[in-house]
Amino acid sequence: MDNTILIKNGHIIDASQGLDGVGDILIKDGKIKSVKREGSGVRSQEKEQKLKTQNAKLRIIDATGLYVLPGLVDMHTHLREPGFEGKETISSGTMAAVRGGFTSVCCMPNTDPVNDNETVTEFILRKTYAEGACYVFPIGAISKGQKGEELAEMGMMYEAGCVAFSDDGHPVMNSLLMRRALEYSKVFHVPIISHCEDLNLSDGGVMNEGTVSTFLGLSRMPAAAEEVMVARDIILAELTGGRLHIAHVSTEGSVRLIRQAKERGIRVTAETCPHYFSITEEAVKEYNTNAKVNPPLRTERDVEAIKEGLGDGTLDVIATDHAPHHRDEKLREFDKAPSGISGLETALSLSLRLLHDGVLTMRQLVEKMTLNPARIMGLRRGTLKAGSEADVVIVDAKREWKIDPERFASKGKNTPFHGWALKGMPVMTICKGKLYE
Ligand code: DOR
């Protein structure tokens, strides 16, 4: 970036430096040049004038009344490329990311071909370099073809740039394979991200097992299908000392198991997604395929437990599980429609409801969407420290808006939040030297 940006008078929150107060941020050549807090030498008018004379292209952004945060980090995104470009591409997905305030996303390997070898990893990185609006960090598959039978070439993929391993979309049913993956995670210092689902228990179910499924006559997956795998993986993490991260936590029982494991000092981290603390299985009524997601939407009790888990630190991260699908696929009968919610462009606003409802402080919220995912994935992101990439999002926590998927940059218009009126949104994202507003 050959121009200079001065963001003035914003409420800066940066957990990596313990910053929580009004100040200015100066960006130069795509890097954070300095962060000055109010009362600690905030630029005087004279200094500002000097900056203007030195930088013909100086842009000044008045962020009075707005939050200025490190660019958000999503550790669970489906970008669909290669193979499913009808659902999303690296270009459209990363544009959706910056629109949603994200400057780094980690993409899941359930593409076609599966990202289970370095050729696919390199393809994703090359495509991102050419077309990506934000940074993309690939996640490699644990097993070849995500079939759960044979370990993929984790070492080669790590060398090529994979930052974690996961068979997301599918569980690793074979416990020995999961044990080996966790052992390797120690060698490469990367997390193993587990999609927790016992396929025998979920038995082809398409929604949560409960009163709504009985009412609708749809096949069901019990909470236990998730929880037995959370329990298994915690046991394997204890056995191996490997780095376990539990993806998309949706049930009260999972929260309890993770809390207990953390109390016992087992190395486990966990994420949930906005849909698991915003809506329940009731959203599936009328056979709404846009509310079909895996794991499925649960009950009010689970929603409360998820919020509690976020509040007490059991759940470290809010991830999107951005899972775009083509409109025609979601128009199929409920049983046949694919699972997933397009989440990048609604995640921050839905999460801000937790702030408005007093569930989380802004600082906790920022940690769960920046520093915590960056740390778990080993990324030098989620910080505004001088010298780091100028990944910044400016947030108006008061601005009211309505969700309209037709306005998404994502190709995936599949959201159960269509028409929701929300308070708070990202108003500007700065990434890779570009400003999106
Ligand atoms: O709902 C989901 N959709 N859950 C997953 O685990 C995978 C994802 C997808 O890839 O569509």
Using the mean position of ligand 1's atoms as its centre, give its distance from the Cα of residue 33 in Å: 39
Tell whether the model's pLDDT for residue 200 goes beyond 70.
yes
Write out the E strands in 362-420.
392-402
| One-letter amino acid for residue 75 of the chain | M
Domain with CATH 2.30.40.10 in the chain: 4-68+389-436
pLDDT in tens, 51-64: 777 776 799 999 99
User: Burial of 145 by CB count in 10 Å (0-12 exposed, 13-18 middle, 19+ buried)?
Assistant: middle
DSSP secondary structure code for residue 433 in this structure: T
Q: Which of 293, 334, 336, 342 to mutate to test the pocket of ligand 1 (most atoms within 8 A of CB)?
A: 293
Given the CA of residue 78, which atom of ligand 1 is nearest to it? 10
Given the CA of residue 292, which atom of ligand 1 is nearest to it? 1
CA–CA gap between residue 241 and residue 301 (Å, rounded): 32
Using the mean position of ligand 1's atoms as its centre, give its distance from the Cα of residue 140 in Å: 16
Q: Which of 374, 373, 375, 367 is nearest to 351 (CA)?
A: 367
Helix (H) or strand (E) holding 364: helix 362-369
Q: What is the CATH number of domain 72-377?
A: 3.20.20.140
pLDDT in tens, 97-156: 999 999 999 999 999 999 999 999 999 999 999 999 999 999 999 999 999 999 999 999
DSSP secondary structure code for residue 150 in this structure: S
DSSP state string for 119-132: HHHHHHHHHHHHH-
Average pLDDT, the chain: 96
CA–CA gap between residue 377 and residue 190 (Å, rounded): 7
Tell whether the model's pLDDT for residue 2 goes beyond 70.
no
**CATH domain 4-68+389-436 topology:** Urease, subunit C; domain 1 (2.30.40)
Tell whether the model's pLDDT for residue 382 goes beyond 70.
yes
CA–CA gap between residue 106 and residue 97 (Å, rounded): 11
User: pTM surpassing 0.95?
Assistant: yes
Using the mean position of ligand 1's atoms as its centre, give its distance from the Cα of residue 41 in Å: 48
Query: What local confidence, expressed as pLDDT, does residue 40 receive?
Result: 61
Q: Whose CA is nearest to atom 7 of ligand 1?
A: 169
Q: Whose CA is nearest to atom 3 of ligand 1?
A: 340
pLDDT in tens, 363-379: 999 999 999 999 999 99
Using the mean position of ligand 1's atoms as its centre, give its distance from the Cα of residue 400 in Å: 29
CA–CA gap between residue 311 and residue 296 (Å, rounded): 22
Q: Whose CA is nearest to atom 4 of ligand 1?
A: 294
Given the CA of residue 248, which atom of ligand 1 is nearest to it? 6
Domain with CATH 3.20.20.140 in the chain: 72-377
Using the mean position of ligand 1's atoms as its centre, give its distance from the Cα of residue 339 in Å: 6
CA–CA gap between residue 113 and residue 138 (Å, rounded): 14
Q: Which of 292, 294, 344, 410 to mutate to test the pocket of ligand 1 (most atoms within 8 A of CB)?
A: 294
Angle between helices 90-99 and 118-131 (to 10 degrees): 60
How many helices, marked H, and strands, marked E, lie in the chain? 15, 18
Given the CA of residue 338, which atom of ligand 1 is nearest to it? 11
Using the mean position of ligand 1's atoms as its centre, give its distance from the Cα of residue 323 in Å: 6
Given the CA of residue 293, which atom of ligand 1 is nearest to it? 1
pLDDT in tens, 285-306: 999 999 999 999 999 999 999 9
CA–CA gap between residue 425 and residue 373 (Å, rounded): 20
The answer to whether the CB of 34 falls within 8 A of the CB of 43 is no
pLDDT in tens, 3-53: 899 999 999 999 999 999 999 999 999 999 999 987 665 566 777 777 777
For ligand 1, residues with CB inside 6 Å are 78, 110, 168-169, 195, 293-294, 323, 338-340
The answer to whether the CB of 276 falls within 8 A of the CB of 309 is no
Q: Give catalytic residues, as residue numbers.
A: 321
Q: Which of 88, 110, 170 to mutate to test the pocket of ligand 1 (most atoms within 8 A of CB)?
A: 110
